[in-house]
């Protein structure tokens, strides 16, 4: 008689590895290294603009506004999603999205859905 294979959730297996006292520290270290390699950290919108080698004035020109408005946007702690999307597009970001996790489920909000009606394809 052959042994029946069962499907195991990888999330469950990862949780087992993280909780294993023999390798938990290694797993956490590798996970942190992977996160660091896979992301470009931005402390704020200004860092995203700088990564694109843009000045506030250049971004303002793309947004059809003035440099002072871009400065205020970059200092704000809250923005409308449509304003955030417009800023990111002007900064050259492609496929902007917000990713959150709730109860182990990753939820992705595509910011392109906040494009003005005349911009949607």
Give whichever of 14-28, 55-69, 95-109 has the largest mean pLDDT. Answer: 55-69
Q: Which residues contact 62 (CB under 8 A, 6 or more apart)?
A: 90
In the prediction, which pLDDT does 120 show?
47
In the prediction, which pLDDT does 7 show?
57
Average predicted confidence (pLDDT) for the chain: 82
Domain 44-121 fold is 434 Repressor (Amino-terminal Domain) (1.10.260)
Instruction: Kindly list the domain boundaries of the chain, sorted by start residue.
Output: 10-39, 44-121
Q: What global pTM score does this model have?
A: 0.61
Q: What is the dihedral of CA 65, 71, 74, 79, to 10 degrees?
A: -50
In the prediction, which pLDDT does 89 show?
95
């Amino acid at each position: 008689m052959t042994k029946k294979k069962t499907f195991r959730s990888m999330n469950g297996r990862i949780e087992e590895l993280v909780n294993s006292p023999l390798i938990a520290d290694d797993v956490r270290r590798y996970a942190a290294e992977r996160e660091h390699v896979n992301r470009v950290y931005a402390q704020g919108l200004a860092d995203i603009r700088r990564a694109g080698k843009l000045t506030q004035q250049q971004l303002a020109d793309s947004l059809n506004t003035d440099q002072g408005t871009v400065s205020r946007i970059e200092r704000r702690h809250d923005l409308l999603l449509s304003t955030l999307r417009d800023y990111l597009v002007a900064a050259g970001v492609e496929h902007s999205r917000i990713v959150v996790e709730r109860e182990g489920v990753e939820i992705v909000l595509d910011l392109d859905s906040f494009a003005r009606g005349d911009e949607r394809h």
